[in-house]
């Protein structure tokens, strides 16, 4: 019994090292911010369109690949990095409009399996399209000159780009909150999450609303992909894992809740970061276990509302 | 009924004569069709009859395959005995897992039911990937081979046929029974069925376990023919396969998904033999299916008749 406890304690030996804890927390939070950018769109789209967009990870991947191309064409520099972020965001917004108005719009009334199949089809098509356009190899994007290196804070050295990711994630979250709570469009979005039919009956153009919500979700995924580009290796399989993490986040936070997506993103980011230290190899199991528990105990998620 | 008997007899004869007409390569494909036909029909017992859309049915196909592979490779049994037992072992393992997953999943309906099955599937996928000592991790379990004469494709084809056809018959009797009637009633109006005094959850759970067990049998049959099993069989992208097959064939008929499986498998062989972009082709096929022929192949045939 004593030795069992000791082996268990060994898994948590890193806890005594505050520098390791701080670094890992930062890595977890910054990854959580990237997750948030994907999960927020996934959640909004489900809330309004009632479709689980399995292709959302593929949209994130497209954002990263657009960043690869743009960083190849533009000169090195921080201005180019900003242009790259804008390019990926705008590019994915356009792709989002095309997907919603060309495909999704036709199947809102169809049974669930058709909606599921349609987004699965997009996963397969976009996954191969990326291979056709950018090839099978992995790509990388350089960190912008302003954000290279590390920063001292609280006596610990942090990679500057990771701090920037956290700031960017918080800025997007605040911006989203403002749009959803302070603009007319945002009120429509929140109303649609509660009762779409009533919103339509009140004379709101839900067609335009659906298209813009999907475009916003896609744009956020594109921005996430471009922001992630300097810290991940960008290859054709990127989307398969990304969508799983985002899906876990949205289920834990509550489908349709942006606030829930934010909290759950941090949670999953931290569980992953510390899970790797405590139980290497099993950290993924931890996040799925969290998801299963939430689904069983509170299936509408921490911040969602029961149907 | 009078029309059905000659069709069934003709079909049985054609299936029995098939190995004499085609090469070993196509016999392998025919075995794959049998396994996936059983998989798709078992999946459709849930979707088409019970109205339950599982996002994670690949879990049962994969569990059955792993159970068979472990029995043959690691249980230390005589090869003949292990081979005789693998279909039962696969069904038992898949049924057990389905009972656990189903117990939690049927408490929720609609999209939340789907998400629960999805979550458990990803849990199992991760275990298959990480429990390297048992499952071989990313490399999977390879080198599975039926003993003696069963290793010959034609013989294994008859073995698979002798399992698939009775299994399909059992499922057919099941959905034609009062149990099947309750399932169909649950699809259209669960609340009303509840009011009549039927225990909704226990019927859904029973359907889930039966469907999972036969999906596991299908996975095991396929694993012994292909000679290997990989964790990817349990990944979420693999759960699209039975949905595509069922919708392609038509979810409103019993054998429609089997037809869908046959068309899907043959398409995959023909397209992936020519290009590495089979997923792209499949994506386009699914788009066409979803947007242009929502009733599937059997629906198309019916529409032409009337």
Q: A interface mutation test: which of B126, B232, B239, B296 has the most A CBs within 10 A?
A: B126
Cβ distance A292 to B104 less than 8 Å, yes or no, reads yes
Length of chain A: 307
**A32 falls within a domain:** yes
**A176 falls within a domain:** yes
Write out pLDDT tens, residues A29-58: 999 999 999 999 999 999 899 888 999 999
Q: How far apart are CA A296 and CA A225, in angstroms?
A: 32
Residues of A with Cβ-Cβ distance to B102 under 8 angstroms: none
Chain B CA closest to residue A46: B111
Cβ distance A282 to B130 less than 8 Å, yes or no, reads yes
Cβ-based neighbours of B203, under 8 Å, separated by 6 or more: B179, B182, B183, B186
- CA distances to A165, A257, B74, B142, B147 from B77, in Å: 56, 53, 8, 18, 12
DSSP at A143: P
Residues of A with Cβ-Cβ distance to B118 under 8 angstroms: 247
For CA atoms B51, B264, A105, A227, the dihedral sign is: positive
Q: What is the pLDDT of residue A2?
A: 60
Residues of B with Cβ-Cβ distance to A54 under 8 angstroms: 236
Cβ distance B290 to A240 less than 8 Å, yes or no, reads no
Residues of A with Cβ-Cβ distance to B104 under 8 angstroms: 292, 295-296
Q: What is the pLDDT of residue B306?
A: 60
**A292 falls within a domain:** no
Spans of all domains in chain B: 23-239
Does residue B224 have a pLDDT over 90? yes
Closest in B284, B289, B291 to A106, CB measured: B291
Write out pLDDT tens, residues B50-86: 999 998 999 999 999 999 999 998 888 888 888 989 9
Cβ distance A289 to B282 less than 8 Å, yes or no, reads no
Q: How far apart are CA A306 and CA B19, in angstroms?
A: 55
* Residue A157 backbone phi and psi in degrees, to 5: -90, 120
Q: Which residue has the tokens 């994506």?
A: B283
Residues of B with Cβ-Cβ distance to A123 under 8 angstroms: 237, 283
Chain B nearest-CA distance from A58, in A, is 13
Q: What is the pLDDT of residue A158?
A: 84
Write out pLDDT tens, residues B172-217: 999 999 999 999 999 888 889 889 888 999 999 999 999 999 999 9
Residues of A with Cβ-Cβ distance to B251 under 8 angstroms: 113
Cβ distance B280 to A129 less than 8 Å, yes or no, reads yes
| CA terminus-to-terminus distance, chain B | 19
Residue pair B201/B255 in contact by the 8 Å Cβ criterion: no
**A255 falls within a domain:** no
Q: What are the CB-based long-range contacts (under 8 Å, 24+) for B239-242?
A: B239/B54, B239/B55, B239/B56, B239/B57, B239/B58, B239/B59, B239/B118, B239/B121, B240/A116, B240/A117, B240/A120, B240/B286, B241/B36, B241/B39, B241/B58, B242/B39, B242/B40, B242/B43, B242/B44, B242/B57, B242/B58, B242/B61, B242/B215
Mean pLDDT, rounded, of chain B? 90
**A194 falls within a domain:** yes
Cβ distance B115 to A125 less than 8 Å, yes or no, reads no
* Average pLDDT of the segment spanning B31-47: 96
Cβ distance A295 to B108 less than 8 Å, yes or no, reads yes
Residue B89 pLDDT grade (very low, low, confident, very high; cuts 50, 70, 90):
very high
Residue A152 pLDDT grade (very low, low, confident, very high; cuts 50, 70, 90):
confident
Q: How far apart are CA A74 and CA A151, in angstroms?
A: 27
**A166 falls within a domain:** yes
Helix axes A258-278, A283-297, angle to 10 degrees: 140
Residue range of the domain that includes A125:
17-238
Q: For B51, left (φ over 0), alpha (ψ -120 to 50), or beta?
A: left
Q: Which residue has the tokens 């298959």?
A: B128
Give the distance, in angstroms, between the CA of residue B91 and the centroid of all CA atoms in the same chain: 12
Q: What is the count of structural domains for chain A?
A: 1
**A274 falls within a domain:** no
**A252 falls within a domain:** no
DSSP at B41: H
Chain B CA closest to residue A255: B112
């Amino acid at each position: 019994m004593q030795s069992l406890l000791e082996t268990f304690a060994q898994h948590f030996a890193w806890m005594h090292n505050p520098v390791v804890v701080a670094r890992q927390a930062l890595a977890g939070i910054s990854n959580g911010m990237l997750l948030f950018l994907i999960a927020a769109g996934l959640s909004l789209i489900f809330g309004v369109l009632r479709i689980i967009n399995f292709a959302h990870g593929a949209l994130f991947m497209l954002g990263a690949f657009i960043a690869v191309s743009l960083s190849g064409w533009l000169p090195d520099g921080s201005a180019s990095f900003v242009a790259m972020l804008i390019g990926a965001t705008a590019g994915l917004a356009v792709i989002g409009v095309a997907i919603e108005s060309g495909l999704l719009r036709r199947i809102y009334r169809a049974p669930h399996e058709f909606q599921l199949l349609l987004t699965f089809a997009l996963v397969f098509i976009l996954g191969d399209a990326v291979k056709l356009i950018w090839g099978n190899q992995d790509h990388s994007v350089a960190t912008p000159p302003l954000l290279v290196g590390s920063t001292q804070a609280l006596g610990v050295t942090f990679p500057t780009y990771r701090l920037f990711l956290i700031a960017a994630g918080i800025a997007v979250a605040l911006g989203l909150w403002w749009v959803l709570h302070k603009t007319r469009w945002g009120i429509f979005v929140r109303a649609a999450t509660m009762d779409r039919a009533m919103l339509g009956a009140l004379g709101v153009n839900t067609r335009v609303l659906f298209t813009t919500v999907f475009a916003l979700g896609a744009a956020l995924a594109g921005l996430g992909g471009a922001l992630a580009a300097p810290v991940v290796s960008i290859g054709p399989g990127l989307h398969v894992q990304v969508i799983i993490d985002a899906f876990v986040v949205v289920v834990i936070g509550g489908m349709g809740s942006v606030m829930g997506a934010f909290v759950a993103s941090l949670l999953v980011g931290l569980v992953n970061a510390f899970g790797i230290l405590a139980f290497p190899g099993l950290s993924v199991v931890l996040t799925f276990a969290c998801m299963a528990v939430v689904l069983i105990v509170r299936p509408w998620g921490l911040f969602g509302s029961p149907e | 009924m009078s029309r059905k008997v000659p069709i069934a007899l003709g079909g049985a004869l054609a299936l029995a004569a098939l190995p004499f007409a085609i090469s070993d390569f196509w016999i392998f494909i025919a075995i794959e069709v049998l396994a996936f036909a059983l998989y798709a029909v078992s999946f459709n017992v849930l979707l088409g009859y019970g109205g339950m859309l599982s996002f994670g049915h690949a879990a049962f196909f994969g569990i059955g395959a792993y159970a068979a592979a472990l029995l043959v490779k690691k249980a230390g049994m005589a090869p003949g005995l292990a081979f005789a037992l693998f279909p039962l072992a696969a069904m038992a393992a898949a049924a057990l897992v389905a009972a656990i997953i189903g117990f939690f999943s049927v408490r929720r309906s609609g999209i939340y039911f789907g998400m629960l099955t999805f979550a458990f599937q990803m849990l199992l996928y991760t275990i298959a990937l990480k429990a390297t000592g048992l499952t071989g991790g990313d490399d999977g379990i390879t080198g599975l081979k039926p003993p003696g004469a069963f290793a010959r494709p034609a013989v294994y084809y008859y073995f698979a046929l002798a399992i698939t056809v009775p299994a399909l018959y059992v499922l057919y009797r099941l959905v034609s029974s009062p149990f099947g009637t309750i399932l169909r009633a649950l699809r259209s109006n669960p609340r009303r069925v509840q009011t009549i005094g039927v225990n909704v959850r226990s019927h859904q759970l029973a359907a889930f376990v039966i469907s999972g067990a036969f999906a596991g049998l299908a996975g095991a049959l396929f694993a012994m023919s292909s000679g290997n099993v990989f964790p990817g069989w349990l990944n979420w992208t693999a759960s699209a396969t039975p949905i595509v097959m069922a919708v392609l064939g038509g979810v409103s008929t019993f054998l429609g998904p089997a037809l869908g499986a046959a068309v899907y498998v043959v398409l995959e062989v023909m397209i992936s033999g020519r290009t590495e972009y089979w997923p792209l082709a499949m994506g386009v096929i699914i788009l066409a299916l979803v947007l242009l022929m929502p009733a599937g192949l059997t629906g198309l045939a019916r529409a032409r008749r009337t």
